[in-house]
Structure 1
Amino acid sequence: MTEAELISQSSVQPMELSLVVPIFNEEESVGPLIDRICEAMKDYPHRWELVLVDDGSADATLLNARKYVERPDLDLKIVELQRNFGQTAAMQAGIDTARGRLIATLDGDLQNDPKDIPSMVEALEARELDLLVGWRKNRQDGLFLRKIPSWCANYLIGRITGVKLHDYGCSLKIYRASIIKQVKLMGEMHRFIPAWVAGVVPSSRIGEMPVTHHARQHGVSKYGISRTFRVILDLLSVMFFMRYKARPGHFFGSLGLGTGFLSVLILLYLFVDKFIFGNDIGGRPMLIVGVMLFLSSVQLVTTGILAEMIARTYFQADETPNYIIRTTFRRQD
């Protein structure tokens, strides 16, 4: 597509698709990545844009990416974050910046193949989905450090969230912008995006599709075996937020009522043992357990009340972004 055709298209068509790519210390990969995206999208019939989010890279990633800003067949926007905020925050910045009706996300390390994007867009529309997740069926990663922990994590996430997918960790996904922009990504929760989306739409509108996966060609992986432990902790948070985000009082209140009921049974038993059978209960450990359970019950119930108040305040307040943009780069038309 020539520059004149691109300008003509921009003046007529609305933005159909935004490609969002978080990048961090990918100086050797960013140039080939942009070339591959342009090659993969050259026959795409609608208007599209590429949003690169530089997550505080300490190498020449940003400098190499800026060389492509004036490329005539590319609508490129580079978002430079003030420091390294993490992949989730970078992805959120890209989604917030994206103008397309549909949004595609992929990694910047050349392991995802941009050639899969047009077919995924067609599949999303044909199947009437709100989210289509890539499935790295033939994953080109190490067995023990990447594949086995990933299989375990995918199984646990599917069991707990109820969203059955083969590959939660694949960054290659296609969203309807109107849906994903309702989801606030925090912490390192980009791994659980399908679960968060399932809180907005029925899980029947979330699907998956096999995609190509390449071995890393440049640089080193930003993840290690320690990610497995973080996934487990994040999964507990996801489980709590999916079920009790808007009603934390029910979670703490249920625990409080349970411990309170148990303490009542223990204290009632001791009351009968003391005043009906005349036994001494002053030195019995059961008395201490009963009293402690009663105090725990009171604490849990009051914690639930406070959590409800905090949750209501949270939902009423304006949420601030979890990232800071230093500057943006775009071709001056």
Structure 2
Amino acid sequence: MPRYSIVIPLHNEQENVTDLYDRLKAVMEGSGESFEIVFVDDGSADETFHLLRQISGVDSRITVVRLRRNFGQTSALAAGFDHARGEYIIAMDGDLQHDPADIPMFLEKISEGYDIVSGWRKQRIDNLWLRRIPSKCANWLMAKLSGVDIHDFGTTFKAYRREILEQVPLYGELHRFIPALASWHGASICEVPIRNINRERGVSHYGISRTFRVFFDLITIRFLLRYLGRPLHFFGTVGMLGIFGGVGITSWLFLEKFVRHTSIMAQHGPLMIFAAVLLLAGLNLLAIGLLGELQVRHYHEPTRRAPYSVDRVIRPHSEEQSVPE
């Protein structure tokens, strides 16, 4: 069983595969630790898989996972994590913008006991307006909303303790939010500065459109972190505000109608409709919150899932033991 697994998603990276493997091999052999490299071919249309198959034929430490089509980076990473066997897992990009020479810094920090070691592109060399400014704003917002104080959520270059990854489901574009999701389980997180290298070969798969997808995922993460186990607290609060607003407007309209004998339809018709909309919307949101509570109850009760995450238990007259999830 290898101590370290390096997981690398690839999509049309035939120009970089061989060089990446050579550099990873040199760095990991120099560390003196047992390791494996898990390459995930995310539906490449070029010779990426052919080259990976050749590499795996001469090195037994190589695992190649080929996906049937291009599922995206998060799904490719999830496939790599599922097929990795190491105690610690290092994820990085396959375009050589992540320097394998930085891996020893991750190994040093993870050996100190951290659950997650996140790379930090401290000195970025990307385009100022299209990459650096949007990234800086997004990372600031992610840190504030998630409560995880790191500077670079966007980079894939991270090291994880296996148990943490087993507790975090991956889908959509959530791979960049693993530290935020893991923080719910009490994961200890630190950062290490990494080099930011320009792509020398191949075509970049990133664009400004990714910023909008990240924004929507950020809303999802914020909701999951605060209201995953108590959806009624969110929907109920908004719903009750709507109900109180509707009741307040309706009460005022009743006073206008029966005390001042005002023609409501003639003078306050739109306001009456608005009050009715507030009442109906509030009741609907309240019902959604209750349905959400039923879903949470259904999730926890049949399988007796605990609403907490235990790291270890110390019993009298026994050894300290880690508790599997």
Normalised TM-score (structure 2) = 0.87
Post-superposition shift, 1:316?
Answer: 7.3
Equivalent residue, structure 1, for 2:317: none
Equivalent residue, structure 2, for 1:209: 192
CA distance in 2, matches of 1:313, 1:64: 47
CA distance in 2, matches of 1:312, 1:139: 46
Equivalent residue, structure 1, for 2:27: 40
Equivalent residue, structure 2, for 1:229: 212
Describe how 1:1-333 pairs up with structure 2 within 5 A: 14-72=1-59, 75-126=61-112, 128-202=113-187, 205-283=188-266, 284=268, 285-313=270-298
Q: Which moved more, 1:173-182 or 1:284-293?
A: 284-293
In structure 2, the gaps of 5 or more residues are: 304-325
Partner of 1:21, secondary structure, is strand
CA distance in 2, matches of 1:281, 1:222: 59
CA distance in 1, matches of 2:157, 2:129: 23
Q: How many residues align?
A: 301
Partner of 2:167, secondary structure, is coil
Equivalent residue, structure 2, for 1:3: none
Offset from partner CA, 1:215-259 (integer Å, 9 cap, x none): 101111101111112221221122122212232222211111110
Post-superposition shift, 1:107?
Answer: 0.2
Contact kept, 8 Å, 2:116 with 2:179, in 1: the verdict is: yes
Contact kept, 8 Å, 2:93 with 2:157, in 1: the verdict is: yes
Post-superposition shift, 1:58?
Answer: 0.6
Equivalent residue, structure 1, for 2:319: none
CA distance in 1, matches of 2:302, 2:73: 25
Contact kept, 8 Å, 1:255 with 1:297, in 2: the verdict is: yes
Contact kept, 8 Å, 1:160 with 1:239, in 2: the verdict is: yes
Partner of 1:277, secondary structure, is coil
CA distance in 2, matches of 1:117, 1:312: 43
* Displaced runs of 4 or more, over 6 A: 315-318
In structure 1, the gaps of 5 or more residues are: 1-13, 319-333
Post-superposition shift, 1:308?
Answer: 3.0
Q: Which moved more, 1:41-50 or 1:107-116?
A: 41-50
Change (3 A) 1:75 1:228: same
Equivalent residue, structure 1, for 2:308: none
Change (3 A) 1:156 1:77: same
Post-superposition shift, 1:302?
Answer: 1.3
Letter in 2 for 1:26: E
Post-superposition shift, 1:309?
Answer: 3.2
Post-superposition shift, 1:312?
Answer: 4.5
Q: Which has the higher contact order (CA 8 A, sep 6+)?
A: 1
Contact kept, 8 Å, 1:41 with 1:115, in 2: the verdict is: no
Percentage of matched positions with identical amino acids: 44
Q: Which moved more, 1:51-60 or 1:144-153?
A: 144-153
Q: CA RMSD in A?
A: 1.9
Change (3 A) 1:70 1:15: same
